[in-house]
């Protein structure tokens, strides 16, 4: 079952909301509770972050959540153990987001095998070089029927965007800036020009905007020229500030 394709096919004219959280944060055993709360709260897709000691694409909020998860004792083996019955909890798309170091440590093919076993739909691994992904990892991803989402930025040349689009599956992650993740209150005209440029390229994959989406203004601006948006830091903050994961989800949704 292609849950990601089903999502984009079923919400052609609606704003897709994907939310990122770090597995093992705020507590080691929070993972399933967070997924259930997000799914029950109406979120369309969830990115589950695999904690890593040096998450280079992430800003300070997500970096701190990753370190906290590691301090809590979170591991990839434990994550898959927590996810073993997750498809009894939700049927929305689930994507694992991590880094190549952790994937290699676990074994990339083993990672794919475990992902399929628990019902994960795909991966985002931002530090795999494109050519290396095509030559070494894409055949394994396809063998297991998983999606692999690649990233583009405002600095990515058009020819490379076309190549990324040609090998991506599921959707293309449209990074709003070349900096790390982190909440913003609004998007500049330059960023909105970039969103329009990508929309005009008519890529084969749908796009979602990530990095800097945190409120109604940024969510609406992201959705104007893409199929939806990904929120991370703003939700991690809500998990820190609210007494329960359910309240954190309510707080996030209310801001959108």
Residues identified as active-site? 47, 58
| Alpha helices (H) along 73-157 | 76-82, 100-106, 108-118, 130-132, 138-143
Model pLDDT, residue 183:
44
Residue 19 has, within 13 A of its CA and on its CB side, a CA count of 28
* pLDDT tens, position by position, 148-183: 999 999 999 999 999 999 999 999 999 986 544 444
Q: How far apart are CA 223 and CA 229, in angstroms?
A: 6
Q: What is the pLDDT of residues 84-143, one digit of tens each?
A: 999 999 999 999 999 999 999 999 999 999 999 999 999 999 999 999 999 999 999 999
Phi, psi of 45 (to 5 degrees): -155, 150
Determine the pLDDT at residue 170.
95
Structure confidence at residue 182 (pLDDT)? 42
pLDDT at 193 (0 to 100): 87
- Tell which residue, 129, 97, 102, 80, has the closest CA to residue 18: 97
Q: What is the pTM of this model?
A: 0.93
Query: Do the Cβ atoms of 48 and 35 come closer than 8 Å?
Result: yes
Share of the chain above pLDDT 70, in %: 94
Report residue 127 as tokens: 């530090």
Q: Which helix (H) or strand (E) holds 95?
A: strand 94-97
* 73-96 tens-digit pLDDT: 999 999 999 999 999 999 999 999
CA distance 208 to 47: 13
For the chain, how are helix, strand and coil distributed in percent, rounded to 5? 50, 15, 40
Diameter of the chain measured on Cα atoms: 47
Domains of the chain: 16-255 (3.20.20.70)
- With beta carbons less than 8 A apart as the criterion, state whether 126 and 152 touch: no
- Note the pLDDT tens digit of each residue in 202-249: 999 999 999 889 899 999 989 999 999 999 999 999 999 999 999 999
Tokens describing residue 159 = 């020819």
Which is nearest to 227 in space by CA: 198, 248, 212, 206?
Answer: 206
Read out DSSP for 226-241?
SSEEEE-HHHHHHHHH
| Six-digit token string for 125 | 């691994």
């Amino acid at each position: 079952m292609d849950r990601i394709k089903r999502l984009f096919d079923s919400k052609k004219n609606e704003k897709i909301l994907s939310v990122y959280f770090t597995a093992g944060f705020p507590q080691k055993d929070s993972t399933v509770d967070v997924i259930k709360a997000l799914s029950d709260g109406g979120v369309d897709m969830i990115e589950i972050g695999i904690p890593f000691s040096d998450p280079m694409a992430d800003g300070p909020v997500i970096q701190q959540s990753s370190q906290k998860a590691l301090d809590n004792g979170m591991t990839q083996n434990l994550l898959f153990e927590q996810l073993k019955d997750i498809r009894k909890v939700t049927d929305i798309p689930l994507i694992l987001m991590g880094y190549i170091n952790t994937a290699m440590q676990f074994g990339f093919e083993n990672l794919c095998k475990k992902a399929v076993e628990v019902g994960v739909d795909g991966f985002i691994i931002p530090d795999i070089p494109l050519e290396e992904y095509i030559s070494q990892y894409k055949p394994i991803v396809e063998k297991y029927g998983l999606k692999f989402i690649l990233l583009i930025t405002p600095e990515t040349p058009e020819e490379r965007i076309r190549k990324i689009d040609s090998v991506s599956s599921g959707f293309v992650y449209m990074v709003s800036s070349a900096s790390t993740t982190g909440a913003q209150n609004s998007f500049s005209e330059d960023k909105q020009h970039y969103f329009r440029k990508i929309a005009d390229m008519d890529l084969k994959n749908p796009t979602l905007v990530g990095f800097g989406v945190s409120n109604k203004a940024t969510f609406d601006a992201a959705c104007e020229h893409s199929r939806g948006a990904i929120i991370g830091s703003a939700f991690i903050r809500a998990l820190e500030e609210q007494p329960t994961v359910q309240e954190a989800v309510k707080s996030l949704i209310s801001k959108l």
